[in-house]
Amino acid sequence: MRQLIIILALVTNASFAFTQAQKLDTVLSVRWFNGAWQNSSRTINNYDEDCRLKTVLVQNWNVITGKWADFSNKQYSYTNEHYIVEIMTQLWLDDSWTNSYRQIYSYYPSWQIQSVTDQNWLTDHWSNYRLVSNTYDSNGYIDSVLTQSSDNDEPFTNYAIDVYSYNNDGSLRETVNQFWNNVSKIWVNYIKESFTYNSNKTIHSSTEAFWNYSSALWQPGTQTLYTYTVAGKLYNYTIQGWQANQWVNQWLYSAYFDTNGFPSGVLIERWDGFDWEKFRQNSDKNNSDGTIRQHTAQYWVETLNNWVNDLQDTYTYSASCLLPLQLLSFTAAQYGAEVKIRWATTDEINMKAFNIQRSFNGKDFNSIGHITPRSATGVNTYDYVDAIDNIGVAKIYYRLQAVNQDQSYTFSRIVPLTITSNKETLKVYPNPAKNIITISFSSPGNRKAKIQINDMRGNTVYRHALNATEQNNTVFADISSLSKGTYHLLLITGTDIQQTMFIKP
Q: What is the DSSP string of 264-309?
A: EEEEEEEE-SSSEEEEEEEEEEE-TTS-EEEEEEEEEETTTTEEEE
Is residue 354 within 8 Å of residue 402, measured between CB atoms?
yes
Q: What share of the chain is helix, strand, coil (3-state, %, to 5)?
A: 0, 70, 30
Comparing 470 with 411, the larger pLDDT belongs to 411
Instruction: Give the pLDDT of residue 436.
Output: 92
* CA gap 449, 492 in Å, rounded: 6
Q: Give me the mean pLDDT over the 423-448 stretch.
A: 79
Q: For 319-328, 336-345, 370-379, which range has the lowest pLDDT when averaged over its residues?
A: 319-328
CATH 2.60.40.2550 corresponds to the domain 426-504: yes
The DSSP bridge partners found for residue 157 are 149
CB atoms within 10 A of CB 7: 11
Q: For 213-227, 259-273, 434-448, which range has the lowest pLDDT when averaged over its residues?
A: 434-448
What CA–CA distances, in Å, run from 426 to 24, 32, 163, 421?
52, 68, 31, 11
What CA–CA distances, in Å, run from 250 to 195, 245, 274?
19, 15, 11
Q: How confident is the model at residue 4 (pLDDT cuts 50, 70, 90)?
A: very low
DSSP 3-state of 76: strand
Least Cα distance to 325 among 14, 76, 2 occurs for: 14
What CA–CA distances, in Å, run from 150 to 99, 115, 147, 266, 324?
19, 15, 10, 39, 33
Domain with CATH 2.40.160 in the chain: 15-319
CATH label, 322-418, candidates 3.40.50.1820, 2.60.40.10, 3.50.50.60, 3.40.50.10860: 2.60.40.10
For the ranges 21-35, 65-79, 367-381, 401-415, the maximum mean pLDDT occurs at: 65-79
Instruction: Give the pLDDT of residue 45.
Output: 94
User: Which value, to the nearest 10 degrees, does the dihedral of the CA atoms of residues 439, 444, 450, 456 take?
Assistant: -60
Task: Look at strands 186-197 and 338-346 and give their pairing.
Answer: unpaired
Q: How confident is the model at residue 88 (pLDDT cuts 50, 70, 90)?
A: very high
Indicate if the pLDDT at residue 288 is higher than 90. Answer: no
Q: How confident is the model at residue 444 (pLDDT cuts 50, 70, 90)?
A: low
Is residue 292 within 8 Å of residue 286, measured between CB atoms?
yes
Domain with CATH 2.60.40.10 in the chain: 322-418
Instruction: Give the pLDDT of residue 48.
Output: 85
Q: pLDDT digit string (tens) for 445-473?
A: 667 888 989 887 677 889 888 887 756 78
CATH architecture of 15-319: Beta Barrel (2.40)
> Maximum CA pair distance of the chain?
88
Least Cα distance to 486 among 103, 245, 131, 138 occurs for: 138
Mean pLDDT rounded to a whole number for the chain: 85
Q: In what helix (H) or strand (E) does residue 503 lie, and over which residues does it extend?
A: strand 496-504
Q: What's the whole-model pTM score? A: 0.64
Domain with CATH 2.60.40.2550 in the chain: 426-504
Q: Give me the mean pLDDT over the 488-497 stretch.
A: 75
* CA gap 235, 358 in Å, rounded: 40
Least Cα distance to 491 among 444, 432, 433 occurs for: 444
